[in-house]
Structures are given as C-alpha cells and as structure tokens.
C-alpha cells in the first residue's frame, strides 16, 4: 500500500535544475526477534512513540528528502499504519527475506515512482538520527558515489582462536559503520541488481564496494546506536541537556495571503481541499510563515523575507516547511530550545476545526515537539475586513524559546 506522497517533482518546481532529487529508504522489514515483545521491534514503543516513527520524522524534518519510502515485512501493513499514524507522504513497500532483498525492492519502488538522484538507506532500529549526519553525507555525495557515517574503534582489537589471543590488530584504520548510508541512486540500484542472490550482505556499503563504487567515510554520531535487545528499548536516547540558567524569549509572527482560484491551499503544512488556494511566491502557507517569523523574532534574527527573499526565483512554489526547518535550525544553533508554539488562523472559509489536529501534529513533527507543545486555534473577523469577505487568510503566531542567558 502507499500513503499518497506530496508530488516529488511538483512540490518545488522552480528549484535550480542542479538541485539533487533525494529520497530516504528506511528498512523496517525485520521480525526483531532478539528484542522480544508482542510486535517486531520497529513497531515497539521507544521514548514515547513507535521506534520506526523516530527515523521517519527525522527525514521529514530534513528539508532535502522530499520522498520517504519505508520497507516493511509481509503482513505488517496494519502495524506500519498504526506506527505512522497521520503522517503523510510516506510510501510503504513490502520487503523480502533478507535485508538486501528488502533494500533492492525499495530501490525498485523508487525507480517505479520516477527515479531520484540520491538515496539515503537507513535502518529503522537506529532512531537518534540528526540532520548534521544527513548534511555531512549529502555533502560527500557531491564528490563520491557513496558515503557512510563511521566512528573510530577506541578499544584494543585482537584476533584469537579457541579462547586464546593470537595477534593484536592495528585499530588506526578500523571504523564502526552506521546508517544511513547515502548513494547516488542509479549506481547503488545497479550494484544491488548485480549482487548474487545466494550471498548475504551486512550492509549496503559492502554491496557498493563489491560493484566498484567509491564510498566516502564521514563522521558518524554516538547517538546512532542500534536498538537490538529488549533492554535497549527501555533506554531512550537522552536529549541534549538544556544549559542553565535559562531565560525565556518570545517572538511574534504574522502573515497574510490572498485567496485565488487555481491554487492549492496549504495551511500548517497540510493540504486542505478548497475551491481556492493562497497566492504567494512560495506555497503561501500563512501558518508556517507566521511561525517562522515568530521563531526568528524570538532570537532577533530578522524576518522570513530576509532569509528567503520573494525576489529570489529559487523559492517560487517552495514548500514552506523548508522555511520553518531553517528557522528552527537557527534557534538550535544559538542554543535555544523551543518550549511551545501558539498559532491562530484567521479566516471565514474553509472551516479549520476539522483540520486542527492534523495541523497540530504536522507542526509538532516539523519542529520535533510533542503535540501538546503546539497550540492551534482558529477565529473569524465576523465578516469584517478582507478575511471576513473571504479575500484572504491571515495567521499570527507566538513562539516561546528557552535559551542560556549568556546568549
């Protein structure tokens, strides 16, 4: 089955032609027997949500991956739907008996959807995926056919047999390999199609190297620990500690766009069926624009127009989630922690009530917040003014950020 994804090529039609089209392929087809429990580990609870969902949300927040494909096991559709909940834009593909089979089937599914330039292959059992690792891998693909995140081996290494050490091994050139592993799509697809079906592969870099692909090593992340046993599920990754003492900073944002016939209506990161849509240089999502300005304002970082000028053609039709992700990354770079968002949408039509929960969850996902940290309200102007006449939609937002008082 397939959750209808936002169109891969139409979402940002005016981006420069040299911008690589990128997909995330998350492997979640295993049985997870070593973790025990009533369900495979990828669907088990970890840190308040299904293990699989952590990786999906990490790629959803990363602005460079417009297509997310999740490979699941035979008969796991219902568990996958429950784990992903209301998240949209996710393609589900049934995998095979071995991991390499599942990856190959996932790659073929991406090819059937129209192909891609780059693919990031990730194990759902590694939930603590950061945008920093993704950015490093993406940069490496500018010069290499593949890239993997690695960590140095810090313990002494030795070979042995029958319980007796035989010789020490120089660890200087040894690395611990993690996922996601990134590749140029056509190259890794060809490598997988040429891999012998009777041979097991530990990971995709092994298949890539066997096919002669150059694979770069980039800095990994100690947090990218693989969840293997039941005890691992009980030890969630620790959030970055907030510096102390902390002070609160508040930002305000406001945006308005005209309603016109022939445009899609995007509000709060979701597409709403309506006879009119909002007109603007990007997708004109007033809700995400208002929140973006609130975040920038709280940190005294200017406004959305300074970061994404409407005169710049690369932002024509762009997904406003990219603007929000950029503002959030600037907050984090300053050591800020988003405490909560309060959003008010002002319009006569469409009615926002039926969509409030979806908008709340989408914003929470984009900002890596709990839904109860995102307030979504709607009001009208009693048919007064341009919103009352149905000529446009406005939104205002407040953002509260905790940051060290040495900022």
List per-block mean pLDDT (blocks of 10 residues) for the chain, which spans 407 residues.
32 42 91 61 86 92 83 91 83 91 95 91 93 93 95 83 81 88 96 89 93 94 83 57 70 94 92 91 92 95 88 82 90 89 94 93 91 94 90 95 74
Q: Do domains 22-233 and 246-404 have the same CATH topology?
A: no
Instruction: For the chain, state the CA radius of gyration.
Output: 23
Count of CB atoms situated within 10 Å of the CB of 365: 22
**Structural contact between residues 57 and 131, judged by C-beta atoms closer than 8 angstroms:** no
pLDDT computed for residue 15 by the predictor:
30
Q: Torsions phi, psi of 392, nearest 5?
A: -170, 180
SS3 (DSSP) at 253: strand
pLDDT computed for residue 19 by the predictor:
61
Nearest one of 318, 292, 322, 314 to 305, comparing CA atoms: 292
Distance of CA 299 to the CA centre of its chain: 24
pLDDT computed for residue 61 by the predictor:
86
Q: What would the two tokens of residue 273 be?
A: 């069926």
Q: What would the two tokens of residue 373 be?
A: 């940290």
Domain positions in the chain are 22-233, 246-404
CATH number of 246-404: 3.30.1330.50
Question: Which residues touch 36 (CB under 8 Å, ≥6 apart)?
Answer: 229, 230
Question: Whole-angstrom Cα distance, residue 56 to residue 279?
Answer: 30
pLDDT computed for residue 234 by the predictor:
65
Question: Whole-angstrom Cα distance, residue 229 to residue 369?
Answer: 27
User: What angle is formed at CA 395 by the lines to CA 393 and CA 397, rounded to 5 degrees?
Assistant: 175
Is-above-0.85 flag for pTM? Answer: no
Distance of CA 294 to the CA centre of its chain: 22
CATH number of 22-233: 3.90.550.10
Question: Whole-angstrom Cα distance, residue 339 to residue 400?
Answer: 5
């Amino acid at each position: 089955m397939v959750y209808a994804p936002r169109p891969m090529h139409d979402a940002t039609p005016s981006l420069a032609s040299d911008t690589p089209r990128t997909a995330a392929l998350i492997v979640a087809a295993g049985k997870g027997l070593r973790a025990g429990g009533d369900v495979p580990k990828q669907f088990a609870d970890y840190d308040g949500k299904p293990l699989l969902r952590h990786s999906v949300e990490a790629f959803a927040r990363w602005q460079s991956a417009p297509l997310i494909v999740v490979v699941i096991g035979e008969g796991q559709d219902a568990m996958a739907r429950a784990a992903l909940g209301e998240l949209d834009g996710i393609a589900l593909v049934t995998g095979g008996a071995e991991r390499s089979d599942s990856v190959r089937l996932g790659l073929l599914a991406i090819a059937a959807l129209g192909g891609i330039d780059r693919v990031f292959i990730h194990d759902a059992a590694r939930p603590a995926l950061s945008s920093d690792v993704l950015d490093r891998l993406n940069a490496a693909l500018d010069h290499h056919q593949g890239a993997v995140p690695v960590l140095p081996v810090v313990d002494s290494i030795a070979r042995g047999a029958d319980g007796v050490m035989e010789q020490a091994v120089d660890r200087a050139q040894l690395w611990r390999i993690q996922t996601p592993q990134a590749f140029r799509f056509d190259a890794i697809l060809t490598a997988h199609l040429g891999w012998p079906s009777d041979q097991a592969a530990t990971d995709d870099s092994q298949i890539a190297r066997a096919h002669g692909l150059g694979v770069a090593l980039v800095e990994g992340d100690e947090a990218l620990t693989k969840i293997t046993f039941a005890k691992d599920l009980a030890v969630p990754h620790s959030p970055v500690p907030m510096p102390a003492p902390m002070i609160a900073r508040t930002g305000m944002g406001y945006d308005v766009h005209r309603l016109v016939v022939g445009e899609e209506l995007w509000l709060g990161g979701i597409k709403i069926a309506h006879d009119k849509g909002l007109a603007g240089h990007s997708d004109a999502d007033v809700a995400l624009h208002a929140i973006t300005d609130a975040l920038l304002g709280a940190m005294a970082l200017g406004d959305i127009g300074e970061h994404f000028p409407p005169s710049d053609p690369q932002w024509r039709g762009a997904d406003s989630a990219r603007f929000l992700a950029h503002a959030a990354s600037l907050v984090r770079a300053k050591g800020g922690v988003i405490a909560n968002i309060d959003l008010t949408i002002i319009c006569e039509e469409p009615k926002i009530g039926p969509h409030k929960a979806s908008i709340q969850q989408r914003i929470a996902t984009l900002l890596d917040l709990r839904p109860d940290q995102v307030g979504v309200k709607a009001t009208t102007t009693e048919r007064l003014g341009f919103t009352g006449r149905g000529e446009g939609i406005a939104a205002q937002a407040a953002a509260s950020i905790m940051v060290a008082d040495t900022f």
